[in-house]
A = this chain, B = another copy of it.
Protein backbone atom coordinates (compact mmCIF):
# COMPACT_ATOMS: atom_id res chain seq x y z
CA UNK A 1 0.00 0.00 0.00
CA UNK A 2 2.74 2.43 0.90
CA UNK A 3 4.56 1.07 -2.09
CA UNK A 4 1.54 1.74 -4.20
CA UNK A 5 1.34 5.29 -2.90
CA UNK A 6 5.01 5.96 -3.59
CA UNK A 7 4.40 4.85 -7.12
CA UNK A 8 1.37 7.11 -7.29
CA UNK A 9 3.40 10.01 -5.97
CA UNK A 10 6.14 9.61 -8.54
CA UNK A 11 3.50 9.33 -11.16
CA UNK A 12 1.83 12.55 -10.01
CA UNK A 13 5.18 14.31 -10.03
CA UNK A 14 5.77 13.16 -13.58
CA UNK A 15 2.44 14.51 -14.68
CA UNK A 16 3.21 17.80 -12.97
CA UNK A 17 6.55 18.00 -14.73
CA UNK A 18 4.95 17.23 -18.06
CA UNK A 19 2.51 20.06 -17.49
CA UNK A 20 5.30 22.43 -16.50
CA UNK A 21 7.31 21.60 -19.60
CA UNK A 22 4.19 21.89 -21.74
CA UNK A 23 3.46 25.31 -20.27
CA UNK A 24 6.98 26.36 -21.17
CA UNK A 25 6.50 25.20 -24.72
CA UNK A 26 3.17 26.95 -24.86
CA UNK A 27 4.87 30.28 -24.25
CA UNK A 28 7.11 29.90 -27.28
CA UNK A 29 5.12 27.79 -29.72
CA UNK A 30 1.58 28.77 -28.87
CA UNK A 31 -1.34 26.39 -28.96
CA UNK A 32 0.30 24.01 -31.44
CA UNK A 33 1.84 22.05 -28.62
CA UNK A 34 4.02 19.10 -29.55
CA UNK A 35 3.96 16.08 -27.26
CA UNK A 36 7.13 14.78 -28.90
CA UNK A 37 8.93 18.00 -28.05
CA UNK A 38 7.75 17.76 -24.45
CA UNK A 39 8.94 14.16 -24.32
CA UNK A 40 12.32 15.16 -25.71
CA UNK A 41 12.70 17.85 -23.06
CA UNK A 42 12.04 15.25 -20.41
CA UNK A 43 14.48 12.75 -21.87
CA UNK A 44 11.73 10.34 -22.79
CA UNK A 45 10.71 8.77 -25.99
CA UNK A 46 7.46 10.14 -27.35
CA UNK A 47 5.39 7.04 -26.73
CA UNK A 48 6.27 7.03 -23.03
CA UNK A 49 4.39 10.30 -22.56
CA UNK A 50 1.16 8.45 -23.23
CA UNK A 51 1.61 6.55 -19.96
CA UNK A 52 0.83 9.82 -18.18
CA UNK A 53 -1.29 11.81 -20.56
CA UNK A 54 -4.11 10.27 -22.58
CA UNK A 55 -3.68 12.60 -25.53
CA UNK A 56 -2.50 15.99 -26.61
CA UNK A 57 -5.97 17.45 -26.27
CA UNK A 58 -6.28 16.16 -22.72
CA UNK A 59 -3.01 17.82 -21.81
CA UNK A 60 -4.25 21.06 -23.33
CA UNK A 61 -7.49 20.77 -21.39
CA UNK A 62 -5.58 20.29 -18.15
CA UNK A 63 -3.52 23.37 -18.90
CA UNK A 64 -6.65 25.33 -19.72
CA UNK A 65 -8.28 24.32 -16.46
CA UNK A 66 -5.25 25.33 -14.43
CA UNK A 67 -5.06 28.62 -16.31
CA UNK A 68 -8.69 29.40 -15.57
CA UNK A 69 -8.05 28.68 -11.93
CA UNK A 70 -4.95 30.85 -11.87
CA UNK A 71 -6.83 33.77 -13.36
CA UNK A 72 -9.79 33.18 -11.10
CA UNK A 73 -7.60 33.11 -8.02
CA UNK A 74 -5.83 36.31 -9.01
CA UNK A 75 -9.07 38.11 -9.71
CA UNK A 76 -10.84 37.02 -6.54
CA UNK A 77 -7.80 37.76 -4.40
CA UNK A 78 -7.70 41.27 -5.78
CA UNK A 79 -11.37 41.72 -4.96
CA UNK A 80 -11.24 40.40 -1.42
CA UNK A 81 -8.10 42.41 -0.73
CA UNK A 82 -9.89 45.70 -1.23
CA UNK A 83 -12.22 47.64 1.05
CA UNK A 84 -15.61 46.08 0.25
CA UNK A 85 -17.34 49.46 0.34
CA UNK A 86 -14.97 51.02 -2.19
CA UNK A 87 -16.86 49.80 -5.24
CA UNK A 88 -14.84 51.71 -7.77
CA UNK A 89 -11.60 50.63 -6.15
CA UNK A 90 -12.68 47.02 -6.26
CA UNK A 91 -13.66 47.31 -9.90
CA UNK A 92 -10.31 48.79 -10.80
CA UNK A 93 -8.37 46.28 -8.76
CA UNK A 94 -10.16 43.32 -10.27
CA UNK A 95 -9.63 44.59 -13.80
CA UNK A 96 -6.00 45.31 -13.08
CA UNK A 97 -5.51 41.83 -11.61
CA UNK A 98 -6.94 40.25 -14.74
CA UNK A 99 -4.66 42.31 -16.95
CA UNK A 100 -1.63 41.63 -14.79
CA UNK A 101 -2.31 37.92 -14.89
CA UNK A 102 -2.73 38.05 -18.67
CA UNK A 103 0.50 39.99 -19.15
CA UNK A 104 2.32 37.51 -16.94
CA UNK A 105 0.81 34.49 -18.74
CA UNK A 106 0.20 35.64 -22.32
CA UNK A 107 0.23 32.16 -23.82
CA UNK A 108 -2.26 30.86 -21.29
CA UNK A 109 -4.47 33.89 -21.83
CA UNK A 110 -4.43 33.25 -25.56
CA UNK A 111 -5.34 29.65 -24.86
CA UNK A 112 -8.34 30.73 -22.81
CA UNK A 113 -9.59 33.71 -24.77
CA UNK A 114 -8.12 33.34 -28.23
CA UNK A 115 -9.81 31.79 -31.20
CA UNK A 116 -11.21 28.39 -30.29
CA UNK A 117 -9.66 25.36 -31.98
CA UNK A 118 -12.26 24.06 -34.45
CA UNK A 119 -12.05 20.41 -33.55
CA UNK A 120 -11.65 21.02 -29.86
CA UNK A 121 -14.74 21.42 -27.67
CA UNK A 122 -14.27 22.79 -24.17
CA UNK A 123 -15.25 20.13 -21.63
CA UNK A 124 -18.05 20.89 -19.23
CA UNK A 125 -15.77 21.29 -16.23
CA UNK A 126 -14.20 24.39 -17.73
CA UNK A 127 -17.48 26.26 -17.68
CA UNK A 128 -17.53 27.17 -14.01
CA UNK A 129 -13.88 28.24 -13.67
CA UNK A 130 -14.36 30.34 -16.79
CA UNK A 131 -17.13 32.28 -15.13
CA UNK A 132 -15.15 33.36 -12.10
CA UNK A 133 -13.86 36.68 -13.50
CA UNK A 134 -17.23 37.96 -14.74
CA UNK A 135 -18.93 36.75 -11.58
CA UNK A 136 -16.40 38.65 -9.50
CA UNK A 137 -17.08 41.80 -11.46
CA UNK A 138 -20.84 41.51 -11.21
CA UNK A 139 -20.47 40.60 -7.54
CA UNK A 140 -19.10 44.08 -6.94
CA UNK A 141 -22.24 45.56 -8.44
CA UNK A 142 -24.45 43.24 -6.35
CA UNK A 143 -22.66 44.40 -3.18
CA UNK A 144 -23.07 48.02 -4.15
CA UNK A 145 -26.74 47.42 -4.68
CA UNK A 146 -27.38 45.71 -1.35
CA UNK A 147 -25.58 48.50 0.49
CA UNK A 148 -27.35 51.21 -1.40
CA UNK A 149 -24.17 52.58 -2.90
CA UNK A 150 -25.26 51.99 -6.47
CA UNK A 151 -28.30 53.29 -8.30
CA UNK A 152 -30.05 51.10 -10.81
CA UNK A 153 -30.02 52.50 -14.33
CA UNK A 154 -33.42 53.95 -15.11
CA UNK A 155 -33.90 52.81 -18.70
CA UNK A 156 -36.11 49.95 -19.78
CA UNK A 157 -34.43 47.01 -21.47
CA UNK A 158 -35.86 45.48 -24.60
CA UNK A 159 -37.93 42.48 -23.58
CA UNK A 160 -35.68 39.72 -25.02
CA UNK A 161 -32.62 41.22 -23.37
CA UNK A 162 -34.44 41.62 -20.09
CA UNK A 163 -35.59 38.00 -20.21
CA UNK A 164 -32.11 36.61 -20.92
CA UNK A 165 -30.44 38.73 -18.30
CA UNK A 166 -33.08 38.03 -15.67
CA UNK A 167 -32.55 34.33 -16.16
CA UNK A 168 -28.81 34.81 -15.92
CA UNK A 169 -29.20 36.92 -12.78
CA UNK A 170 -31.48 34.34 -11.17
CA UNK A 171 -28.79 31.72 -11.58
CA UNK A 172 -26.04 33.67 -9.84
CA UNK A 173 -27.33 36.92 -8.36
CA UNK A 174 -31.03 36.54 -7.61
CA UNK A 175 -32.86 39.79 -7.66
CA UNK A 176 -30.21 41.79 -9.47
CA UNK A 177 -31.87 44.23 -11.90
CA UNK A 178 -31.22 43.24 -15.48
CA UNK A 179 -30.31 46.80 -16.47
CA UNK A 180 -27.44 46.75 -14.01
CA UNK A 181 -26.37 43.29 -15.07
CA UNK A 182 -26.32 44.51 -18.66
CA UNK A 183 -23.82 47.19 -17.71
CA UNK A 184 -21.76 44.70 -15.78
CA UNK A 185 -21.62 42.50 -18.86
CA UNK A 186 -20.54 45.54 -20.85
CA UNK A 187 -17.72 46.06 -18.38
CA UNK A 188 -16.62 42.46 -18.64
CA UNK A 189 -16.76 42.58 -22.43
CA UNK A 190 -14.69 45.72 -22.38
CA UNK A 191 -12.13 44.22 -20.03
CA UNK A 192 -11.70 41.24 -22.32
CA UNK A 193 -11.38 43.55 -25.31
CA UNK A 194 -8.81 45.75 -23.64
CA UNK A 195 -6.58 42.88 -22.60
CA UNK A 196 -6.93 41.11 -25.93
CA UNK A 197 -6.10 44.23 -27.92
CA UNK A 198 -3.01 44.80 -25.84
CA UNK A 199 -1.83 41.19 -25.88
CA UNK A 200 -2.63 40.54 -29.52
CA UNK A 201 -0.70 43.57 -30.69
CA UNK A 202 -3.55 45.87 -31.68
CA UNK A 203 -2.10 48.67 -29.58
CA UNK A 204 1.33 48.46 -31.17
CA UNK A 205 2.60 51.76 -32.56
CA UNK A 206 -0.40 53.62 -31.22
CA UNK A 207 -0.60 53.34 -27.46
CA UNK A 208 2.75 53.44 -25.70
CA UNK A 209 1.60 54.11 -22.14
CA UNK A 210 -0.34 50.91 -21.67
CA UNK A 211 -0.94 51.16 -17.93
CA UNK A 212 -2.44 54.63 -18.05
CA UNK A 213 -4.52 53.81 -21.08
CA UNK A 214 -5.90 50.69 -19.42
CA UNK A 215 -6.79 52.50 -16.21
CA UNK A 216 -8.52 55.25 -18.10
CA UNK A 217 -10.57 52.91 -20.23
CA UNK A 218 -11.57 50.90 -17.18
CA UNK A 219 -12.58 54.16 -15.54
CA UNK A 220 -14.79 54.99 -18.51
CA UNK A 221 -16.68 51.74 -18.03
CA UNK A 222 -16.92 52.38 -14.31
CA UNK A 223 -18.59 55.67 -15.22
CA UNK A 224 -21.01 53.92 -17.53
CA UNK A 225 -21.90 51.46 -14.81
CA UNK A 226 -22.40 54.27 -12.35
CA UNK A 227 -19.73 53.31 -9.82
CA UNK A 228 -19.40 56.30 -7.50
CA UNK A 229 -16.22 58.32 -7.94
CA UNK A 230 -14.24 59.06 -4.80
CA UNK A 231 -15.15 62.56 -3.73
Contacts and interface: CB of A to CB of B under 8 A. Distances in A.
Contact of A30 (B115, B160, B196): B115
A217 B186 CA distance: 7
A217 to B, nearest CB: 6
B115 A186 contact: no
A74 to B, nearest CB: 19
A149 B197 CA distance: 30
A215 to B, nearest CB: 8
A190 interface: yes
Size bin of chain A's contact surface: 35 or more
Contacts of A110: 115-116
Interface in A114-168: 114-119, 122, 157-158, 160-161, 163-164, 168
Nearest to A163: B209
A28 interface: yes
Contacts of A206: 164, 168
A47 to B, nearest CB: 23
A118 B30 contact: yes
A56 interface: no
Contacts of A161: 209, 212-213, 216
Contacts of A196: 113, 192-193, 196
List 4 A-B pairs, minimum CB-CB distance, nearest first.
Answer: A114-B115, A193-B193, A160-B209, A30-B118
